[in-house]
Amino acid sequence: MLATAVCITAGSSCKRSFLDVPPQGQLTEEQALIDPGAAEKLVGGVYNTLYFGSFGNNTVGFLWVIMNDVASDDADKGSFPADFGPAAEIDNFTFNANNFIFNNVWLGHYEAIVRANKAIDVLNRSTFDETTRKRLLGEVRFLRGFYYFNLVRAFGGVPKIISIIPPSEANSDAVNTRATRDEIYAVIIEDLQYGVDNLPAKGEAGAVVGRITKGAAQGMLAKVYLYRQDWQKAFDLSKAVIESGKYSLGDYTTMFREVGANNSESIFEVQTGPHRGIDNCDAVSPLFSNGQGPRSKGAWRNNVDGKPYDGDLGFGLNSPSADLANAYEPGDIRRGATIIFINPTVGGGPNPGTVLWDGFRIPTQDSVENPRYSYKAYHSPFKETPSCNGYLDKDFKPKNIRILRYAEVLLIYAEAAARLNNTGEATAKLNLVRARANLGPTTGTLANIWKERRVELAMEQDRFFDLVRTGQAATVLAGKGFQTGKHEVFPIPQAQRDLSAGRLTQNPGY
Amino acid sequence: MKLTFAFLFLCYMHVSAEGVSQTRITLKLDKVDLKQALAAIEQKSSYRFLYNEALVRTEEGISLNAYNEEVISVLDKILNGRPITYQVLDNYLVVLKNAATADIQNPDITITGRVTGPNGEPMPNVSVTLRGTTIGTTTNAQGNFSITVPDENAVLVFSYVGYTPQEIPVRGRTAIEVSLVAADRSLDQVVVVGYGTARRRDLTGSVATVSGAEIAKQPVLTPTQAIQGRVAGVQIITSGAPNALPTVRIRGIGTTLGGQDPLYVVDGVITEDIRNINNADITSMEILKDASATAIYGMRAANGVLIITTKKGRPGKMVVNYDAFVGIREATNLVDMAGPNQYAGYLNEASVYYGTGDSLVPASRLTGTHTDWFDAILRRGFLQNHNVSMSGGSERINYFLSAGYTSEEGILITNKFNRFTVRSNNEYRLTNKLKLSSLVSFSRFDLRDVDYGAFNNAYRAAPYVPDKINGKYGNTSAAGNVGNPVLSLEKVFNNGIGNRLQGTFGLEFKPISWITFRSSLGIDLDFFKKVEYLYKFLSDTQTFIEAGGNQQRGNSRLNITDNTANKWVWDNTVQLAKSFGEHSFNLLAGVTAEQYKFNSITGGRFDVPENRDQWYLNAGSLGGAVSNETGDKWTRNSVLGRLNYNYAGRYLLTATMRADGTSRFSEDNRWGYFPSIGAGWLISDESFMDGQQIFDALKLRGSWGRVGNDKIPTSLYYTLARLNVPYYFNGQEYLGISFPDVTDKNVQWEVTEEIDLGLEFTVLNNRLSGELDWYKKETTDALVYVTIPGILGDPDSRFITNAATFENKGFEVTLNWRDNINKDLDYRIGGNVGFNKNKITGLNGGQALFAGNVGGQGFVTLSDNNQPIGSFYLLEVEGILQTEAEVAASGQSGAKVGDLNYRDVSGPAGKPDGVIDSYDRTFQGSYQPKVTFGVNGGLNYKSFDFSFAGYGTAGGKIYNGKRAIRGADARDNIEAEIAKERWTPNNPNTSHPRATLNQMAASTYFLEKGNFFRLNNLTLGYTLSERLLSRVRINSVRVYFTAQNLFTITPYSGFTPELQTDQILEAGIESNSYPSTRTFAFGLNIGF
């Protein structure tokens, strides 16, 4: 008996098997990468980073929305005054480096970039056929370039991480120091250009709805060149998208609803759906829709098609500003498609409230916190795909996020043309966008194009960066507390500066 | 492994088959002496010989050939022609006698006698045995016994748990009176150590013992709660929650991850959860504190070891005991919250005067309703406990059988717990060489659990909203506030049922007197099933008094959890104990193997009907259905050895070594080696101490050793894939993978090196005993979550690695005084105090660890070099800004008169810069107490007994997280004290700032002293007179009244200074704690 016991200890073969216990029900990296489809699945994992949202690490989710739209003149913080202080700080430019929104946007983007780096590393080593490998690399590098584009616009120069960093190097100077803005733009341009060179165009072999296409890379790179003031390249790239003939302007009034998902105008759009993960619906950007939904004051309930719906439709944050509402020309169909207007309360008689496109009635002003809400973020609980938790769940609505539309490419083209003194082309493309909005023609001046960008792209997380890019921020945002020389970029998150032992330098003024 | 099990069981059966009565032997002797001949028979048969050495001293050799012959006939042949006669007693015991002096006619002597206790009282159930044999009996209720011995040279051994055994030579007497002395604290007390027992005098390590009687006395569920304050250097943090496992910290904290808990060993089974143990079944609990004592447990001993030994039967007539108590438990030390007017006043002042100008609480809402939300969610809970046990034994079998039932209502409405335990501990003496033991316990608990978030919501809920009227709930969320906690509690049914079977099966083989082989198999099967039903309710007038708000659940939901854990540990040891003259050796060597498997299945469905009979997953809808299964498995394999050597009983040496292999670390880092060495000197036994009158005992000891800690999640060193990471392509879900977490492939156990120096003494005629210990523990390669920069892409920005060094240094003093004033009155009083200094001495090259995120305040603790683990790192408050001039000078942008004034400590340039920012934060101490102390005492006067026990800590700090997080939601209620004392122009001399809706910065305003002293237990008992009882055939009856936590003295303003958390880096932040509770109980002990 003792001998048997000793065997467990001393017999080398039985010792080895006894103490070798692989993880139960989990896949190790070594096992996972044996799968021939591993590289492709890793790419799927990089797309998944587009869902980072809620109050946690964010890419293009809820906090990114707050950071951009609320900082701009398009939106006020919304909700009731005392709610969500960090967003209020952004609204009135009183934030500092400790505001958690910046930290979580930073974390979300780097988490996504590191996933992309991992996929790129595996793809570079994989034995896929060359076309597939390059296409997958093009998709991942597009996403990485896009994320760096967000970071550089938000924070200026940031650490340049384009390979796998082992934890042992976490403390090294190299990764804890900010690269310059130019160095980051070089990464962005190289990544996006790789996409331009290697991705299939929409409709070609390998291009699947939801995957990054050549057009997306061209359009995004064109936008990057606007920021670099390289008008010729912006012009050429946007021209290529236009001349590809793959895209056309759609119906603005339905474009942001589920029926408008991936319409003829869509170039880059975050795809969502009611997939259920282990803990929750995990194929959505959480709170993206609910965070911006109409917020009740007091109690009300309503129903559509006999489905009762109690309380409100969301947090009421990111409320479109009066200034935005007034920015539209008379007859612009985009005003009503962008903003949910809450009707004032009238004395006596039945109050009409606001009836949304799906038939849901929001009461009048005395029952609702804010006068305006984003229609572009609205996702109907009744007429569109419900959350995987059921239609009453508000946090996990599968709402696609529109990131790049053909209309913007037209406006990029117009702006580049105007800069290159090609007023004819600028006017032509500008008026295409205006005509779709039911507006008459105008001249393609820079001022007109910028004005058009605002109303066309309102509440789509572009306005703040656009104001900074075009030099309008100082005047337009002065009333909100914007300080020139400081607020063109947000502060480097203090938590990250602490972790770098001060090696991450702070932006001026913070 | 299955094969080895089968083999083991075959072994049992084989041995028992032949071991019952081996009376025929085959023997070949060739010129051996008589002693060798007898030994040969002993080896081959069940017979044992008892003789005087002088009797068998023969020169000539004995030669003999016997084939399958009766032992007696063989013996006859051997003794033929020698002046020796013999007598065969029970149990194959053969007594050899000198034929010349033996009284063949009357060989047996019957001795009668009486055993009494220290105060002359009769002691029933004392074991009386003939030394060197298994012959024995026990005393009856009057303390009387009668035993038959073979000759007048016999020696009787009297023993009783908790008393010093006495050996009395018969010397021809037929009547013997014995008085036993309590062994408590005495050097002769037998204590349980790892893989064996030892006399206290032989220990070189620091081991504390608490008797089962002390534990069973308190109306608490877990034994560790009952030893709070009993042992120097042991901090026990308790919670009043039913089924809570108290936190035990032995000699400070030497680790920061999940594994700060000590190792629990229950009858040899290593476990992490002792909530299945019925306190009434415990004989004793040993707390192993230093490396000399713990190193035998190697890789898991760094946090100290707690050994629990359960009761066994003793030879003698059956003893039956029934113990019970009934009582109530209630919350104490509650925090007063503002009433409706105070609440509205505070909020409106903050909003109207300092904020937007909107009145947050309109006067129309103040309709006279005043809800005390703590009253609404709390109640006085009823509790009861019943235990019945039977024990007894014969020479062959000892048995102990017990059953216990306990039930208690939590202080929170809907919270309810009950537990049933049954235990059967049996020992079978198969032959004189072979002993089989089986210790088995089964426990079943049934817990209706609750969401303790209710405490936090009660703290936050608006007091003008009613809790519940005529079955409809007040709508707090419609008032812009948190959800109604009464509703939250009542609309959930969360019931967990745990079944646990734990057992140790041991086989002990003693071929010759100094060798013992022992093989024991411990098993632990743990089954847990939870059914959670979430009722559907909408924010309409069917549920609420008024409709609205966001507290609703659109679909009912059923969640099921089914966990199975099973573990086995197989120990095989051999022990050699032998003396050569003044040298005595005791060598233990062994191997152990252990395996743990865990499996958890969870499932959930929406729309399951409310009818309880329908609470099955299949009754729900498929939308939103979830089903998950996860598992865990680890193995360990170890070799251990211990040598105890003593010279002349005065100079002691203990050396231990354990080699541990674990599946938890990568192959290169799998095996660890953990040695220790200890020495002791029994000064009082030296001849030069003979004359002195001061010391009854004096012992000096010291030890060094190295122990480990591997309590981290299994498979941590692997980079694991996250599977089924979704995205949508072409409207179809696509499941990708990712490797989000940064991992360290070289992660391994932590190593703690310990030094201990101790002095034990007994003075003043054994009345005062004491123990002093000094220790130093250094943990290197400590596993820590290192917060890593976001650029590494880890989702929570941290990973685990061996990166820190911690140090704990301390001093412990224990003193106990006991005395008898006279026959009717004795008393005892004792105290202990432990000082501990915890320090981080090396931290990942100097990178400090932030932790303790309190809402928008961010991290409030920082663990840095030369500071205790989890030190609070805060702005320092220097009063309140009283004038606009002070505001302007304060460097705080946006501050107003009435705000806190923070000290400008430093700036980017390393000196005060007129700006209040993160450079102005300083270390402000940690939750870890610098001092823990306990006092306890008792008094017996005639039939009355009285005892008390108190516990306290000093030097720890608490961050009042409930207050600190206020402002995250503007409509939260406010503490009455703050509302009342807040700064206003008319009340400038106060420590509380002006009314504000915003969250304040993390500062010392929220930091309070965590000192407390608690009267843990007070018991008054009365024992009924024997005269009265003898008529009803009852041995003893005692009735008692006991109070647990009669009072707590503390400067802390929150619910309790005892905060349990595994997250040691952020310990001591009170955000949602279970309040202190107080228990009153009335109890009864009956012995039959």
User: pLDDT above 70 covers what percent of chain A?
Assistant: 95
Q: CB-based burial of residue B57 (10 Å sphere; 0-12 exposed, 13-18 middle, 19+ buried)? A: exposed
Tell me what pLDDT residue B77 has: 82
Average pLDDT over chain B reads 88
Q: At B472, phi and psi to the nearest 5?
A: -110, 145
Which residues on chain A are in Cβ contact (under 8 Å) with B606? 389-390
- Give the position of tokens 């190295």: B706
3-state secondary structure of A357: coil
pLDDT of res. B186: 60
In terms of CA atoms, which chain A residue is nearest residue B475? A299
Q: Which long-range contacts link B683-687 to residues 24+ away (Cβ below 8 Å)? A: B683/B650, B685/B648, B685/B649, B685/B650, B686/B650
Strand B175-179 relative to strand B109-116: parallel, antiparallel, unpaired?
A: parallel
Query: Which strands sit side by side in the sheet containing B269-271, from one edge to the other?
Result: B207-211, B282-288, B305-310, B263-266, B269-271
d(CA A331, CA A353): 22
CB contact A85 to B (< 8 Å) = yes
Q: Where does the pLDDT of residue B787 fall: very low under 50, low under 70, confident under 90, or very high at 90 and above?
A: confident
pLDDT of residue B16: 34
CA distance A495 to B361: 37
Closest CA to B798 of B1007, B537, B1065: B1065
Chain B residues near residue A299 by CB distance under 8 angstroms: 475, 478, 539, 546-549
Kindly indicate the confidence band of residue B107, based on its pLDDT and cuts at 50, 70 and 90.
low
What is the average pLDDT score of chain A?
92
The answer to whether residue B2 scores a pLDDT higher than 90 is: no
State how far the Cα of A38 lies from the Cα of B307, in Å rounded to an integer: 49
Chain A CB contacts of B668 below 8 Å:
none
Contact B719 A29 (CB under 8 A): yes
User: What does DSSP assign to residue B1024?
Assistant: P
Is A167 at the interface with chain B, CB within 8 A? Answer: yes
Helix axes B2-19, A2-10, angle to 10 degrees: 160
In the numeric block, the tokens 């047996």 are attached to B108
| Residues of A in Cβ contact (< 8 Å) with B555 | 390, 392
Phi-psi label, residue B724: left if phi above 0, alpha if psi -120 to 50, beta otherwise: left
Question: Which two three-digit tokens encode residue B503?
Answer: 């057992």
- The H or E element containing residue B874 is strand B871-875
- C-alpha span between B309 and B304 (Å, rounded): 16
Q: Across-strand partners of B211?
A: B284
Please judge whether A275 and B475 are an interchain contact, meaning their C-beta atoms are less than 8 angstroms apart.
no
Interchain contact B357–A (C-beta under 8 A): no
Instruction: Compute the average pLDDT of residues A63-68.
Output: 96
The C-alpha atoms of residue B560 and residue B548 are separated, in whole angstroms, by 31
**Tens digit of each residue's pLDDT (9 = 90 or more) over A75-130:** 999 999 888 999 999 999 999 999 999 999 999 999 999 999 999 999 998 888 89
Q: Tell which wins on pLDDT, B774 or B158.
A: B774
The interface residues of chain B toward chain A in range 17-76, judged by CB-CB distance below 8 A, are none
Burial of A228 (0-12, 13-18, 19+ CB in 10 A): middle
Helices (H), B170-285: 212-216, 223-226
* Local structure of A321: helix, strand or coil: coil
Give A171's contacts in chain B (Cβ within 8 Å): 845, 847
**A499 in contact with chain B, both atoms CB, cutoff 8 A:** yes
Provide the whole-model pTM. Answer: 0.77
Q: Is it the case that residue B185 has pLDDT exceeding 80?
A: no
Backbone angles phi and psi of B341, in degrees to 5: -70, -40
Chain A, window 330-359: residues with a beta carbon less than 8 angstroms from a chain B beta carbon: none
CB contact under 8 A, A27 and B632: no
Q: Kindly report, residue by residue over B371-428, the tens digit of the pLDDT.
A: 999 999 999 999 999 999 999 888 789 999 999 999 999 999 999 999 999 999 999 9
φ, ψ at B198 (rounded to 5°): -150, 155
Q: Which residue has the tokens 């290593």?
A: B270
pLDDT digits (tens, 9 = 90+) for B479-529: 888 999 999 999 999 999 999 999 999 999 999 989 999 999 999 999 999
Q: If we measure between CA atoms, which residue out of B916, B918, B892 comes closest to residue B904?
A: B916
- Greatest Cα pair distance, chain B, in angstroms, is 119
pLDDT at residue A502 is higher than 70: yes
- Report whether B54 contacts B62 (CB < 8 A): no
CA distance A138 to A117: 12
HEC string of B374-421 equals HHHHECCEEEEEEEEEEEEECCCEEEEEEEEEEEEECCECCCEEEEEE
Terminal CA-to-CA distance of chain A, rounded, Å? 73
Q: Which residues of A touch B856 (CB under 8 A)?
A: 85-86, 100
The string of DSSP codes covering B756-781 is EEEEEEEETTTTEEEEEEEEEEEEEE
Nearest to B117 by CA among B151, B163, B57: B163
Q: What is the pLDDT of residues A358-403, one digit of tens each?
A: 999 998 888 899 999 999 999 999 999 999 888 888 999 999 999 9
Strand partners, A320: A75
- Contacts of B796 by beta carbon, 8 Å cutoff, 6+ apart: none
**A270-274, A302-306, B382-386: the lowest-pLDDT one:** A302-306
B357 neighbors B351 (Cβ within 8 angstroms):
yes
* Highest mean pLDDT pick, A185-199, B171-185, B194-208: A185-199
Give the gyration radius of chain A's Cα atoms: 25
**Angle between helix A231-244 and helix A406-419 axes, rounded to 10 deg:** 140
pLDDT exceeds cutoff 50 at B888: yes
**Residues A336, A374 contacting (CB under 8 angstroms):** no
- What number is the average pLDDT over the span A476-499? 94
Q: What is the mean pLDDT of residues A322-334?
A: 97
Distance CA A14, CA B2 (A): 13
Q: A172-181, B187-196, B308-317, B763-772 — which is least confidently predicted?
A: B187-196
Closest CB to B790: pick one of A7, A94, A106: A106
Nearest to B1046 by CA among B1080, B1073, B1083: B1080
Q: Shortest Cα distance from A490 to chain B (angstroms)?
A: 17
Which one, of B1050, B1061, B1005, B1004, lies nearest residue B870 by Cα?
A: B1061
3-state DSSP percent of chain B in helix, strand and coil, to 5 = 15, 50, 35
Using an 8 Å CB-CB cutoff, list chain A residues near B997: 82
**CA B652 to chain CA mean position, Å:** 30
CA of B736, closest CA in chain A: separation in Å? Answer: 4
Distance from CA of B907 to the nearest CA of A (A): 13
| Record: contact A28-B788, CB cut-off 8 A | no
| Chain B environment of A2 (Cβ under 8 Å) | 517, 519, 572, 574
A322–chain B Cβ distance below 8 A for any pair: no
User: Range with the lowest mean pLDDT among B354-363, B461-470, B696-705?
Assistant: B354-363
Specify the pLDDT at position B1047.
93
d(CA B592, CA B195): 11
Q: Is the separation of the CB atoms in B410 and B417 below 8 Å? A: yes
Beta bridge partner(s), residue B935: B831, B950
Instruction: Write the CB contacts of B386 (distance below 8 Å, at least 6 apart in sequence).
Output: B322, B323, B324, B404, B405, B406
SS (H, E, C) B296-307: HHHHHCCCCEEE
ipTM (interface predicted TM):
0.95
* Extents of the domains making up chain A: 1-136+473-510, 290-399
How far apart CA B286 and CA B273 sit, in angstroms, is: 16
**In angstroms, rounded to a whole number, what is the distance separating the alpha carbons of residues A225 and A215?**
15
Beta bridge partners of B241: none
pLDDT tops 90 at residue A307: no
Interchain pair A1, B7: CB under 8 A: yes
How far A436 CA lies from chain B's nearest CA (Å)?
A: 27
B156 within 8 A of B128, measured Cβ to Cβ = yes
Q: Are B444 and B511 in contact (CB under 8 A)?
A: no
Residue A167: closest CA among chain B residues belongs to which residue? B742
Confidence check: pLDDT of B238 > 70: yes
Q: Kindly state whether B789 is in contact with chain A, defined as any CB-CB distance less than 8 angstroms.
A: yes
The residues, ordered by sequence, that sit 6+ positions from B611 with a Cβ below 8 Å of its Cβ are: none
Start-to-end Cα distance in chain B? 46
Nearest to B900 by CA among B796, B817, B819, B1000: B1000
Q: Would you give the DSSP letter of residue B748?
A: -
